[in-house]
A = this chain, B = another copy of it.
Amino acid sequence: MGTNDYILGIDIGGTNTVFGLVDGLGNIVNRGKLSTRNYSDFESLAFDLAAKIKALPLFSNLKAVGVGAPNGNFFSGSIDFAPNLNWGEHIRVNEILGKALSLPVVITNDANAAACGEKFYGGAIEMTDFVTITLGTGVGSGIYVNGNLLQGKHGFGGEFGHIIVEENGRLCGCGKRGCLETYTSVSGIIYTVKELISKGEKTVLVDDENLNGKKIEQAAISGDAVALKSFQITTEYLGKALANYVTIFDPEAIFLLGGLAQSGSLIFDNTKKVMEENLMKIFKNQVQILPSQLPDADAAILGAAAIAGEALNF
């Protein structure tokens, strides 16, 4: 990519759609925001988005558009069956945005976007084999193999949050039981705390609608036994799952991001310990577990821009 070339990154979320113009070094030189919920169809959103973007002074330097969205599919160029967007089953993002902006558009899901962001602008610039795992409301993952993003045959690759880690375990939103994300997401750790409270274990935490990850973290830091145990259980599941991941992929590093990853050593230390305990000798002490190196506020836009960089070989 030339030094005067820019990529537009668009992150479509259930609440807001944010965008930014990104230069080759990962600086966001211009940014904007629309309220996703104000639009009853994607065409109207695309129309307003295009108007804002075309008005930018650097519009003529734009080379491509990358879009990150829940359930964004690289191969179909659409958002398929997104539970938090009420615009129909298949939203033809590439076609509609491409027409509105007269630029090539590339889309993928937000978990893959996070991995692309890390590869292009974050901690994985020099890496060929790594994964980013987002421990948020759910668990998402984006996987690089041999320098390329793993999309899978149908564009659904990388659903690491939905590997089954507990036979007949917790019911997952996907319909299966015992998926990793039911234990290692923010929702998962809240569920764990509620279970421990229901068993009568003593804690400062209260089982009500205000219980959240931050409160559990705070309680753990002040030594609350239930909060500490909930992190123990979470990292036990995560460490074992990562050991299996390493056994298959032999990566250089694993990046943890999202809400739970903000809890720092409460998450990282025991996850690493459990992972190492469950590895074959050849894999031991080979794989780093790292926090994302992208600035939190910019991660979504940088990830979206990087999708286009990845697909178009910038």
Chain A positions near chain B (C-beta within 8 angstroms)? 81, 127-129, 143, 145-146, 148, 150-160, 162-164, 174-176, 240, 243-245, 247-252, 278, 280-283, 286
Contacts and interface: CB of A to CB of B under 8 A. Distances in A.
11 contacts: A148-B148, A150-B249, A152-B250, A157-B248, A159-B247, A163-B244, A163-B247, A164-B243, A164-B244, A164-B278, A176-B280
Given A145-B145, A164-B243, A158 B128 contact: no
A152 B244 contact: no
B154 A247 contact: no
A251 B148 CA distance: 16
A153 B252 contact: yes
A298 to B, nearest CB: 27
**Which DSSP category, helix, strand, loop or mixed, fits chain A's interface?**
loop
A176 B251 contact: no
Given A154-B286, A156-B283, A249-B157, A146 B143 contact: no
Q: How many copies does the complex hold?
A: 2
Given A176-B280, A280-B175, A281-B174, A150 B145 contact: yes
B156 A250 contact: yes
Contacts of A155: 250
A116 to B, nearest CB: 14
Given A157-B248, A164-B278, A152 B175 contact: no
Given A159-B280, A162-B247, A244-B244, 5 more contacts: A152-B249, A154-B250, A156-B283, A160-B248, A176-B278
Contacts of A146: 145, 148, 150-151
B244 A158 contact: no
Given A174-B280, A248-B160, A281-B174, A129 B143 contact: no
A152 B128 CA distance: 9
Contacts of A164: 240, 243-244, 278
